[in-house]
Structure 1
Amino acid sequence: MASDRSKRAARILRARRRGQEPPRPAAAAIPALSPLAPDPPLSDQFLTYTGSGWVASDPIADSGHRATGPDSAGHAPTSQYAHDERVMVSPRYMAGAGDQIADVIGPLKHLFGWHAQHDAAAGHVKIDSPDGSMFCEFDPIHPLGRWWTISHHEPYWEVTFSRQMPMEAIAAVTQALPQLLGDTRHAERIPITDMPFDQLAELNDWSVEEGTLTSPDLYCRLVYTPHEEIAWQVEHVNFESAPLATFTKDTPTGLVRNLFAHLAMPTAVERTFADVPISTRYGHGAVITPVRGAAVNPHVHHALAQLDRHSF
């Protein structure tokens, strides 16, 4: 079964290079969230900072429908979502970065006393740990689209994230950094998961084969190459030229687990529709639902849409 999955993944890559849309396998049903407990799972509850200096977006969407692709005559794709509408998107690795930069670096500055430097003209942000041994850098104009870099000295290790990596998953990494330096304040609110990769994969219906964890739809995978300088790499079919994430070999494994746990979970993330990658908006690999306009909580509404999609 694992071998068949790998062969299919290779066929998908070849088909996409030729501009074709390969047939998708039926995915396993995802259980809907209970109306009595509409919030996301506890493992998704990282801190959200909305203090002075950081702007928080408000959901303003009314209602909408899923985007449609080009018609048979090749006309441009259309959507009944306005560009500024807030939507829920799953899987997470199809949602793009989002706008939750405050969740990525806000807690480091305001809860742990890290020093931040901000170039407002370029949008560049650098934040350093109090002891100077670690820094996190945000560069939205990086020529290769490498928006985030985390570096540690002695031992040296480096983590990078592309412009397509969801910031919710990045926040699960950055908020855990103080614990690696011995600062255990707020540790009960920012857990570092110790669940093994194979269990995390099974929990989210990802497959495991020879150091590679592959998503159920075969669009995304986490590759482990322990003898290479880049020991961990997150790859995506739609962004073959730029990995979503890289971890050098001395990176603490707990950070990789935290990222994977948040990236792989089926719970939707919220986006402004204009921030959703074009390949997601007009492709067939994601579920998009409105934040407002539904009769139930947006997470419940999205989970029901997932069930409806996976029923066929």
Structure 2
Amino acid sequence: MNKRQQWAGWGPHEQAEQHYLIEPRHLAGGGDLRHVTKYLRASGWSDRSKSGGPLAFDSPDRTIRVGYDPFIQPGGWMIRAEAANGQPAWHVTLGRQTPVEIVAGFTDALTQPRTAHAPNAWAPLQQNGWQTKQGHHPTATSPDSSSWMQFHQTAPDEAFWWAGARTEHGMTWQAHFAPTTPIHLVQAFSAALADPQPVMRPRGNVPPSNRIRSTSVSVLPSQLSAWQQTRINAARAATWARNTWATNRPRNHTASPYAAAGSTRARR
């Protein structure tokens, strides 16, 4: 088979595939796990997954693990960080139907340097029209009332963040953040949760709900690949920049480039 025949159906002759843009994104269903895992791999994280088993990725310093296990109940994502440098251990669980774009809001932040700005987990929600209600358990609710984020306090020293979404069929997914979870990571999650941009799902992967607004679009396989590659390239470029800085920085600076994972460093 010559090269022209081998690649027939691609390039200018490739066939468009039907996809759907889903709004609101928190009701779009789980999506393709590679949206999360490929970014972690491109950011220098080690794939510790077992063939046919749960997914597991470790940070370069092996103090944070991102896992996904669909074989247990309720199953889903588990992120754990070890205690280090004065930052206590923490963990986060996200249900299996949490959209990968929202999960990535959190996991992408694990790979990035922490900004100098004081974090505020409520700000992205309020900026995108979520209604906030004060009280014993302050809560923000999405404009369509199908998703929420809450600071749940059971005692003076016992509080945690809780988020989720529901349709007319019941609970779709939930996310729980241990009390010690660094607040800038919670903010990264809330920003992805409140993002008004729709997310894309292939035909046959649109959850059944009358609360979902879907727009049919035709997408070329090469377009999908290019969009995915752009995200991966961004992760690789950021990792290269961090590693270059770490190699050339003054010797009296000893902080890890993965300091973003804690309040000075976040750990499993």
TM over 0.5: yes
Paired residues in the alignment total 196
1:209 to 133, 145, 165: 133
Alignment of 1:96 onto 2:26: no
C-alpha distance 153-103 of structure 1, shift in aligned 2 (>3 A):
same
Aligned residue in 1 for 2:151: 224
Which aligned pairs between 1:1-312 and structure 2 lie closer than 5 A?
Answer: 60-61=16-17, 85-99=18-32, 101-111=33-43, 113-122=44-53, 124-144=54-74, 146-154=75-83, 155-179=88-112, 184=113, 196-210=120-134, 211-227=138-154, 231-238=160-167, 243-278=173-208, 280=209, 283=210, 285-292=211-218
- Secondary structure in 2 matching 1:138: strand
> 1:193, 1:139 → 2: CA distance?
34
The change in CA–CA distance for 1:197 and 1:127 in structure 2 (over 3 A counts) is: closer
Contact 1:193 1:254 in 2 (8 A): no
Contact 1:193 1:257 in 2 (8 A): no
Runs of 4+ in 1 over 6 A off after TM superposition: none
Following the alignment from structure 1 to structure 2, what is the Cα–Cα distance between the partners of residues 194 and 175?
19
Give the letter for the 2:82 counterpart.
H
CA shift digits 1:96-120 (9 cap, x unpaired): 1111x22312232232x22212223
CA distance in 1, matches of 2:111, 2:70: 24
- 2:162–2:175: 8 Å Cα contact kept in structure 1? yes
CA distance in 2, matches of 1:261, 1:114: 23
Check the 8 A contact 1:192/1:255 in 2, yes or no: no
Instruction: Report the AA paired with residue 166 of structure 1.
Output: P
TM-score when normalising by structure 2: 0.65
Q: Is the 8 A contact 1:226 1:249 kept in 2?
A: no
Give the stretch that moved more between structures: 258-267 or 198-207: 198-207
Distance verdict in 2 for CA 1:105–1:202, change over 3 Å:
same
Structure 2: runs of 5 or more not aligned: 1-13, 220-268
Counterparts of 1:194 and 1:287, CA distance in 2: 35
User: Residues 130 and 142 of structure 2 are in contact (CA less than 8 Å); yes or no, is this contact kept in structure 1?
Assistant: yes
Contact 1:168 1:262 in 2 (8 A): yes
State the alpha-carbon separation in 1 of the partners of residues 59 and 51 from structure 2: 21
2: CA distance between counterparts of 1:86 and 1:195?
A: 36
Measure the CA separation in 2 of the matches of 1:172 and 1:192: 18
Q: State the 1:256 CA deviation.
A: 1.3
Higher strand share: 2
Residues 157 and 248, structure 1, Cα contact 8 Å, conserved in 2:
yes
Letter of the 1:102 counterpart: R
Q: 1:306 corresponds to which residue?
A: none
8 Å contact 1:230–1:247 — kept in the other structure? no
Conserved 8 A contact 2:97-2:172: no
Amino acid at match of 1:168: E
- C-alpha distance in 1 between matches for 2:119 and 2:89: 25
Aligned equivalents of 1:199, 1:212: Cα separation in 2: 13
Question: C-alpha displacement at 1:86, in angstroms?
Answer: 1.1
Gaps of 5+ in 1: 1-57, 62-84, 294-312
Q: 1:230 to 1:92 in 2, by over 3 A?
A: farther
Letter in 2 for 1:116: D
| Contact 2:69 2:76 survives alignment (8 Å) | yes
CA distance in 1, matches of 2:133, 2:26: 20
Percent identity between matched residues is 29
Give the AA of the match of 1:115. S
